Structure formats: C-alpha cells, structure tokens
Amino acid sequence: MIKVGLVGYGFMGGMHSQCYQATGKAKIVAVADVEADRCDKAAADLNCETFDSIEAMLESVDVDVVDICTPTYLHEDHVLAVAEAGKHIMCEKPMSLSVESCDRMIAATTEAGVKMMVGHVIRFWPEYQVIKELVDSGNFGKAQWASARRLSPPPTWAWQGWLSDPEKSGGAILDLHIHDVDFLAYLFGSPKAVFATGVKSTRGAFDSAFTTGLGHSSGTISYAEGSLALSTPFPFNMALTVCCENGSIKFDMAVSPSLMVYPNDGEPFAPEVPEIEVGSSETTGGNISSLGGYYNEIEYFVNCVADGVEPEIVTPQSAREAVKICLAARESAQSETIVNIA
C-alpha cells in the first residue's frame, strides 16, 4: 500500500483523496492544511493524521508520495521541500507561474531522484483519451484543424479568492485555458507560434482568452477559447472539435451522446467511451464533480510509483511546455502580435 501525504484539502485535495482511496493501492495517511477546519474535516473523512504545514508533515510522517493541491504560487516551494525529503510528487496544474520556476522544480526532482507528475487531467479524461486514440489511429486522415472550448463562471470556491488574483494564479490563461492548450499540444505537437486575444478582468488578468496555435508538428492549426468570466448561473462547459481529412470528431459535454464521429463515408457513430465506476464528488465544490478523469490520472501515477517507472503521459517537461505556451499566449494578447515559441 502506497502511503500518501496530501497538502491542501480544498476542492482538488478532496477530489484527489477520494481517487487514491478508490484505487485500493494507496492510502492517505496525512493531510497538511493551514486551515484548522479543513484539517478537522480531513481527519473525519480519511481517518488520517493532520498538520498545519507541509514541513511538519514531512518531519512527522513516513510517506511514499506527497500530493500537492495548493494554490499555484505555492507549488515551487512545496515541490522543492518534498524533493529534498526524497518523496515522489504529484503536483496540481499548472506546474508553476514561470518557466524559470518550472526549471528549478525539474532540477530539484531530478537531483533527488524522485518521480514527479503534474495534474494535466484532460490527458486522462475518458472522452479526450478516445479522441487521442482516434486522431493517432490515422483512420480519418490528417487532422487539419481543431477547436477547443472551456467556459466557466468565476471560481468563487477558491481559498481566500486566490484564483481571482493574477499574481497568484496567472489568471484564466494559466489556470483554465492551459487545459486545452496542453491537450492540443499533446495531440498535435507544440505550436511554433501563437496568436492570442483576450478580455481582461478588473484585476488585470486575461480571464477570457482566445488562442490560435500555429506550426504544430502535425501541420494542424489549433484554436482554443477559455473563460472564467461567464455569469454565475452559466453551466460549466468543455468541448473539442477535430476536423480531419476523412471525417470529423466532436465532443461536447452538454449533449448526449457527448462524443460523436462523422466519417466522410459512412454513418455517424458514437465511439465507446470507457466508464469509470468511481462516481462523483458533490461536496468538494469547484466546476466539475466527475471523478473519472481524476481517477484515471491518480491510478496511473500510483501504478508508476508502484512499478518504479517514470510517468510518460505527462512528463515534467511537457508540463513546463504547457506553461511556456500559455505565457506566450498571454504575451501575444498583451502585444496583439504573433509570438514565437523558441
């Protein structure tokens, strides 16, 4: 049984904790959170030890893995502390707020000889996994263009409103938009350049962003739109369309069936999407309650640790690349020019 220490018992920490328990291969043995009420909830939910800091947890409890579900601006400090303690690391996305910070995190984990995976959960989301398989199969020819969408009301559930502070979260581009920017790079290779526009919030962050990816190695042109500025009653939505030479693929979580394939020759069909029988979480807050993609992600990482192999679906380098592309998109939106990605 892999022993896990969890840092941050908010929305994401609650989701992750349920997934670790569901694997049957890992157990949350300790939780660290600066809020006493969250520590009390973790103790009641998980029957684990609790601490008011990551340092106290690392000094007091023997763990194999530390899962970091703290705000983005704390990721680097927490990763460096865990690497120094010689523990494997699961860190929520985005990896950090700058490429330089990502480099320091990679250097520390490499030197310590510990595994690190960053939670780019869309790579593990069942419908997106099927889309990846369909595109990679080549059965519908080359992907010519793709358009992704992710729309949400403001993230009012965030601890002390940190997601609304661009200095702490990077705004919607780094926190929300990165999901689709990363997945499009996963599908088609990183773009060589981006052109982005956006609408700023009153705090100065681009809380709505529209990014075109140019020069993907596959030759595909990509487009992504993301916003954390929709009205409060607006239902969270994510969608992806891929136009291939010999057919089109469409996913939209708001319709049923959510995933359809439209071949140029033949009848439209709904491909089989694996069902993850771990249910949902209605009590953790946030914009989505399904555990399926989170479970796939956590189970994959647990298996990598158990088997002594490096995670390949999300590497630290690919997580760094996602940050780099998003920062280029932010620069492009600021300058209103195409920005090359070196």
Euclidean distance between CA atoms 277 and 227, whole angstroms: 30
Look at the block and give the residue holding tokens 């555990």: 291
Q: What percent of the chain has pLDDT over 70?
A: 94
CB of 72 within 8 A of CB of 170?
yes
Instruction: Render pLDDT for 9-60 as a digit per residue (tens, 0 to 9).
Output: 998 999 999 999 999 999 999 999 999 999 999 999 999 999 999 999 999 9
Three-state secondary structure call for residue 166: helix
* 2-121: CATH topology: Rossmann fold (3.40.50)
pLDDT at 158: 65
Pairing relation of β-strands 237-244 and 143-151?
Answer: antiparallel
DSSP state of 129: H
Q: State the span(s) of the chain assigned CATH 3.30.360.10.
A: 123-287+313-340
pLDDT at 168: 86
Count of beta carbons in the 10 Å neighbourhood of residue 257: 12
Scanning the chain, the segments in alpha helix (DSSP H) are: 11-23, 36-46, 54-60, 75-84, 99-112, 126-137, 166-169, 171-172, 178-188, 292-307, 316-335
Instruction: Render pLDDT for 91-105 as a digit per residue (tens, 0 to 9).
Output: 999 999 999 999 999
Instruction: Render pLDDT for 239-264 as a digit per residue (tens, 0 to 9).
Output: 999 999 999 999 999 999 999 999 99
Where is mean pLDDT largest: 117-126, 169-178, 274-283? 117-126
Nearest of 204, 179, 160 to residue 33 by alpha carbon? 160
Q: State the span(s) of the chain assigned CATH 3.40.50.720.
A: 2-121
Instruction: Render pLDDT for 54-80 as a digit per residue (tens, 0 to 9).
Output: 999 999 999 999 999 999 999 999 999
Could you name the CATH architecture of 123-287+313-340? 2-Layer Sandwich (3.30)
Nearest of 79, 118, 105, 88 to residue 26 by alpha carbon? 88
Residue 159 confidence class, pLDDT cut points 50, 70, 90: low
